[in-house]
Each structure stands twice: as structure tokens, then as C-alpha cells.
Structure 1
Amino acid sequence: MKALVRSLTLAVLLSTTSHLALAEEVTIRFLASHGGISAHELAAELGYYDKAEIKLENVGYATGGPESLIALAGGSVELGSAATAAVLNSIAGGNDFVAAYPSNGINDEAQSIFYVLDDSPIKSIKDIAGKTIAVNTLGAHLDYAVREALHQNGLPQDAANLIVVPGPQLEQVLRSRQVDISAFGYWQTTFEGAAREKGGIRAIFDDTDVLGEIAGGFVVLRRDWVDAHPEQARAFVEGAAKALDYARENPAETRVILAKALQERGENPDLAKHFKGYGVRAGGLPVERDIQFWIDVLEREGRIEAGKLVAKDILLVTGGASTN
């Protein structure tokens, strides 16, 4: 009951007028991701936080979502970003996090794609059993997408061998035949596009084949931070959601901003031309299915107790009453 009351309180706070003057400036520290920018970074570049008393501070890179959640739990950053399953595992483990907004989604335009070399005998999901798959981290979206793909095809969920390879090296390990498959996450479309442009590889499946259109992951905040800064939390979510819509409506301009950000970080700005968007539905906010799908999976696997997690208590705000 306390969780429900807190959730309703947050929803009221987040729905208040956006013209309220914010009392104090807050700094939100975060870990960036190689080859891309988050919607809140884009929002800052577009000036959406200029009047909101919100300052973003990039304090380094995260190799994967679980790393950013550990940093969030430890207090070294104010936000984390991870696959939904990783977020739920972290909350079930005792971290009082709330899902602020979907960091990315998967659809026909933006998705995670599993590639093999052209001469590979692997043709379908059923062929990945016993094969080695490169993913950026374990315990996150690609890991669970593989597990769910195997489950749907009647195979043991641990039938494939997953190894950790940083995003910038996914193409290299595949072309050098160190792995059978390289999985480029929905947040790594820049690396995927660069690899595809060179040719010699082919896709065997993507995560929309397995999961349908759904939020791929979430930017999460600590609940105590939201309680302490309700107006900034509202402004943060509103700005990010607005930036997600901007990216969908203005892809060329977004690629220019991404190239500039990559250049400033010392990364390859040419990767920006392969940016496919964030894959998030119009309005930039989640629906309950984005969370509930993975709650059901984790309950089925026995990783969390049935009924322990409730989607509406985890989501800071939703795009409406729809659960579809």
C-alpha cells in the first residue's frame, strides 16, 4: 500500500503545471554510452533544461546497464540506464528505483540485430544453440532477448554461450571469427550501421521478432532523489520525452547533434550517419506492458517471487492507462 501511495503521489507531482518556478539547481551525474547519446543528453543540447535548473554532468562511460545501476545504487550518479530486465532484477534485489522514461524502444526502425558472417551455417534462432554470441554485457537486454528467443523455440534458455565484448569491438570479433554471432543492441545502431555498410554479414533475427514493439530499457532514478526533487524530476522526464519526439521528427538534425557530441568525446563522429532513432512511441512515455512483460518472464524463470513487483509502482509516470 505504501508503494502505491508513493506512486500516486509521484504521478500527481509529475502532472502539475510546467510553469512552476524550480527552487534550486540540481546536478544530475550520469554515465554515457559509447557511440550514442541519451534522450536527456539530447534534451540538454536542445536547451530543454535551460529554465529547469537542471545541469547534466557526464562522469564517464558505462560498459553496460548493470554497471550504471551499480553506480546509481552507490550514489556516484543520480541516474542509471539499463535494460528493463536488469532494472527489475535490481529493484527486486532491494534498490528503490523508479523508471523515469524509456531510454530506447524496439520497432521496425530501431532494434537489436544478431549478425553472422555471410558464409555461416547459422540460418535461424534454432541454429544458435551451442554457438558463441558476443553481447556488450550480461544480465541485460541482449542476454534476456537470447534467453527468450531460445525459450520460444523450445530450447533450453542457456543453450547459447554468451561472451562480453564492448560495442566498438563487436564487428571485429565477428569478422575475425572469434565468435559465431555478434549482437548489436538497439542502442548501438551506429556500430551496426557501420558494420553492415562494409558488407559480408547478414542478420539472422532481431529482438522485435521475439519481443514485439516494446521499450527496450529505462532511465531510472532513485526514489529518494525524486522525493527530494519532485519538480526537477518532472522537468527531467518532460524534457527527455520531448527530445525523444524531436529525434523521431527531426532525424537529420539529431544526427548533426550526435556527431558533434561524439566529436567532443573523442569518438568517431562519422558513426552518427547510422543513427536510426530511439524507437520509442510518440509522446516518449511508457505503458505498463513495457514493464509487465519482463515481470512475467522473471516470474516464469523463478528469478523473482510472483507478485513481488507491480508495474504501476515502478513506473514514475505512464503515457496513459493502456497496457498494450
Structure 2
Amino acid sequence: MNFRSWISVVTGLGIALATAGAPVQAQTAKPVAVRAAYIPVVTWLPAWVAKEKGFFAKHGLDVTLSVAQNLSVLPGTVGRQFEFVPSTAPDLLKAVASGLDVVATSGEVFETEDNASTYVMVGKDSGIKSAQDLKGKLIATPTIGGVIHVATLYWLKKNGVDPASVRAVEVPFPNMADQLKAKRVDAVEALEPFVGALKAQGNVALTAPLLSAGKEVIFPFWISSGEWARANKSTVTAWKASLDDAIAFIKQNPDEARSILAHYTKLPEAVVKATPFPTYRTAITAKDIEVWGSVLREVGQLATTVDSQKLVVQ
């Protein structure tokens, strides 16, 4: 073998060894399959935008979105049916107190003083003007054990009314206006866009109950199985990053975001246009959760001590 041939062999061998030992950059990593549930209301718009505009795919996720109707039962589905589901602090805390290993993995909506989305509404001729006037009254709530009703009970207690003096009945948001008009209930706990429709009919907002817990409080957010989240932090990071991209898109392209909102909620165009966007934010801390732990203890719905520091994986 002459010198030139020897050099060619050595060079070829070196290239082969270097290629074998290095990652193949041309190959694209397979997207991570993720299953998520959502409730068909404006709260979950960032997830829909992330799906429709390709932000999940951009961050390496192959997301399947499935509609659900009852938020309170979803903690028990993570780790089996879904990787991410909607929840609230009371539902999360109660689930953990009952022995489930579930954690918050991303924020979604915060209720703020300058952008409230939930109100206790009463008829304009009801004579109800304060918390004291609700003693012995019947309130329609989407979920008796849910965050909105917990907040209403806390608001009542802060204003000197025994929460036990008020009765509650579960009524879906779309049916609340009819129930209030027919005087089958004395007040309703309504969420946008239903608040806007109720106000248009002359009904009156008595309070924004969530704000009784603070000037800015976590409302719904995303949770996952604790075991899964701790083992898949890169996927949790990608999920949050996708939602952050979607939130930025919503701010810059509100009209296109509303088209996506209409697609997922099936609401009439006029309602979609009138629906205000809530305050979207993915950051969430143990302190955000603990605020609601204090509220639950005040209204007698959380007897077990829960360490909020262990309830957030981001």
C-alpha cells in the first residue's frame, strides 16, 4: 500500500468512527405523545391555540385534546387517561388529602381585580344587596365543592354570614339565567361569557367571590400525576413553553384567537366576540395553592394538613 492509499484509508476510518460516535443531527426526535383534557370555555384557549398554531409541535409534543364536562372528577384520571388535566386549588388539595399523588404543572388563569371573570349575580328586583341578604337563600353554583362556591362561602363568612345558612344547588352555567329569571334560585355563581349575558338582562353583580381570597389569585390551572411529572420534567417544560407561546399569540392576534375559541366552544359568533379574555399566566407557585388551603380550612372543607411546597412541579 503506498503512502497516499494509506492516508485515504486512515482518513476514511476516522470519519467512520467519528460519525458512529456522534448523534445524527439530520434525524428529528420523535414527538412526545401527550393526552390532555379540557373544558369547553375560554379558560382553556391557550391549549387550543397551541394545538392549532403548531406550538405544541414546535416544542416536541404530539398532543391529543379531549373534551370533558366535569372538572372536579379529573384529578383521578391523570396517570391513566391523561397527562394533563384542568383543575383548581380546592380540587387539587382535596385530591391530595384523600391520598392521590397529583401536582400542579402549569398555571392557566389568574383572577385579578382589574379583570375578574366570576361573579355572584342577583336579579335587579331581588332586594338582595349584600352578603347579609343571602341568609337562607338558594344559590345556583356549577359545582357545590368547586372553587367558585368555596370562594362564595368564604366571602359570606368574611362578611359575618354563616356559610351553613345558605343553600346551594348545582346548575350548569348556560341554564343559570333561566333559573334566576324564573326565581327558582335567588342568586347564581356565573362565569364569563354568561356574566355578560346576565348583565345585559338587567341582573346585578353582587361580588366577585374569588377576589375574597386576594387581589390576585390562581383560578384554574393544569395538573398531572406527581410520579409522571417528576419523571418527565422536560415534557412539563415543553407544555408550559407551548402555552406561553400561545398566550403571546392571543395577545397579538385576538381575532384569530377568537376564531379558535368559536371552533372549540361552539358558541355563537356574537357571544365569542363579546367574551373577554381572562388573565392567562403559566407561572404557578406553592404560595398560590396555599392561599386556597387557608380558604378551605376557614370554611371547614380541609381538615388534613397538606404540604403545598410539594404540590408544584415546573
What is the TM-score with the length of structure 2 in the denominator?
0.81
% of aligned pairs identical? Answer: 22
Per-residue Cα deviation, 1:8-31 (whole angstroms, up to 9, x for no partner):
xxxxxxxxxxxxx75542131314
Contact 2:40 2:265 in 1 (8 A): no
In structure 2, how many angstroms separate the alpha carbons of the residues matched to 1:173 and 1:303?
Answer: 27
Say which of 201, 204, 217 aligns to 1:202.
204
In structure 1, how many angstroms separate the alpha carbons of the residues matched to 2:121 and 2:301?
Answer: 29
Say which of 56, 66, 69 aligns to 1:59.
66
In structure 1, how many angstroms separate the alpha carbons of the residues matched to 2:310 and 2:156?
Answer: 30
Say which of 272, 292, 310 aligns to 1:294.
292
Indicate the SS of the match to 1:56.
strand
In structure 1, how many angstroms separate the alpha carbons of the residues matched to 2:44 and 2:55?
Answer: 15
- Which residues in structure 2 correspond to 1:17-32 (within 5 Å)? 24-32=31-39
- Which residues in structure 2 correspond to 1:1-324 (within 5 Å)? 24-34=31-41, 37-63=44-70, 65-72=71-78, 75-107=80-112, 108-185=114-191, 189-197=192-200, 199-211=201-213, 212-248=215-251, 250-263=253-266, 267-281=267-281, 284-301=282-299, 303-304=301-302, 308-317=305-314
In structure 1, how many angstroms separate the alpha carbons of the residues matched to 2:31 and 2:280?
Answer: 31
Contact 2:31 2:62 in 1 (8 A): no
CA positional deviation for 1:230: 2.7
Per-residue Cα deviation, 1:167-223 (whole angstroms, up to 9, x for no partner):
2212221122211111113xxx122223323x2211111125412211112210112
What is the TM-score with the length of structure 1 in the denominator?
0.79
In structure 2, how many angstroms separate the alpha carbons of the residues matched to 1:313 and 1:35?
Answer: 29
Equivalent pairs counted in the alignment come to 285
Contact 1:110 1:276 in 2 (8 A): no
In structure 2, how many angstroms separate the alpha carbons of the residues matched to 1:287 and 1:27?
Answer: 23
Letter in 2 for 1:78: E
Larger Rg: 2
In structure 2, how many angstroms separate the alpha carbons of the residues matched to 1:154 and 1:312?
Answer: 32
Contact 1:79 1:220 in 2 (8 A): yes
> RMSD across aligned C-alpha pairs, in angstroms?
2.4
Mark the runs of 5 or more structure 2 residues left unpaired by the alignment.
1-27
Contact 2:76 2:100 in 1 (8 A): no
